[in-house]
Amino acid sequence: MTQMAIAKALNESLRKALESDPKVLVMGEDVGKLGGVFRITDGLQKDFGEGRVIDTPLAESGIVGTAIGLALRGYRPVVEIQFDGFVFPAYDQIVTQLAKMHARALGKVKLPVVIRIPYAGGIGAVEHHSESPEALFAHVPGLKVITPSNASDAYWMLQQAIECDDPVIFLEPKRRYWDKGEVDTSALPGSPHQAVVAQQGTDLTLAAYGPMVKVCLEAAAAAANEGRSLEVVDLRSLSPIDFDTLQASVEKTGRLVVVHEAPVFYGSGAEIAARITERCFYHLEAPVLRVGGFHAPYPPARLEEEYLPGLDRVLDAVDRALAF
């Protein structure tokens, strides 16, 4: 067991992948000499050379397009999009090429490309630096979308994404980069697409992923002081979603609140709520509720605490669900 921050866990994971497979490449804006704006790739170019850790021009569409070409030639590119809001110039390449090439080639072509995206808010950044675009990618067939919430998952899930023969959108909760946790680098990890019960409970299920898992654990601790037992499920994967684990939890508790930082309107919580309502209709004691961002552009830094779902908004939803 090693204590490390999520940022360090990601760095060690990339280092392990580069050591294990000479076909793994890391590429993106400022990932080399600078080590990335969050220092996730710090020291990698020095140790593995400019041919494997590549500083690219400021051209996201070109970066992803180049990664697709490299994957077609047998490489395993790991692309860093510097900030979530910068991914949209590359959206065409991701949706029309990366996601569809395998089906277009009738399974004869594989594109093992990982696109790392620091996402969500909470760091006091300017416009285009605090977006939550996960639903846009989860909606696209052909892409896998995963997001860790802790250092152990960051370390293992990134390696699993790199080893996968399908394109993976790997979403990193940037405001959690400095959160520390135990990492067992010798463990045998389970599937990155399996949800995990982060805390057991009996009265209500909180389902979350990425940056909101910590908020839900804090909500569960606060509720416990009032005699309420909340179960917290870390979804970990948004495409596919492990509905079986979530269903088992809801069948036990009878209530579900889905929490994500992205806007509630057309967010991933809508799909989860619909599916669980279908699967657990006769077990539900209350409607499935959703907590998330507002249907508005992400605000300036001084207002983001009003925008972001926090402890009070989660506990308010818990109160409403338990009132039924």
The dihedral over CA atoms of 97, 98, 104, 108, expressed in degrees to the nearest 10, equals 140
From residue 275, give the alpha-carbon distance in Å to each of 242, 243, 292. 11, 8, 18
Q: Which amino acid is at 65?
A: G
Helix intervals (H) in 173-310? 212-224, 243-253, 268-279, 304-307
Q: How far apart are CA 276 and CA 287, in angstroms?
A: 10
Q: How far apart are CA 53 and CA 44, in angstroms?
A: 7
Q: CB neighbours of 105 closer than 8 A, spacing ≥ 6? A: none
**Catalytic residue (choose from 128, 129, 283, 295):** 129
From residue 214, give the alpha-carbon distance in Å to each of 5, 6, 105, 261. 14, 13, 41, 12
Residues pairing with 27 in the sheet: 54, 79
Q: Which two tokens stand for residue 21?
A: 């497979």
Q: How far apart are CA 41 and CA 284, in angstroms?
A: 45
C-beta of residue 116 within 8 angstroms of C-beta of residue 170: yes
Examine the residue annotation and report whether 193 is marked as an active-site residue of this protein.
no
From residue 201, give the alpha-carbon distance in Å to each of 43, 72, 230, 231, 254. 42, 47, 4, 4, 11
> Which residues are part of the catalytic machinery?
129
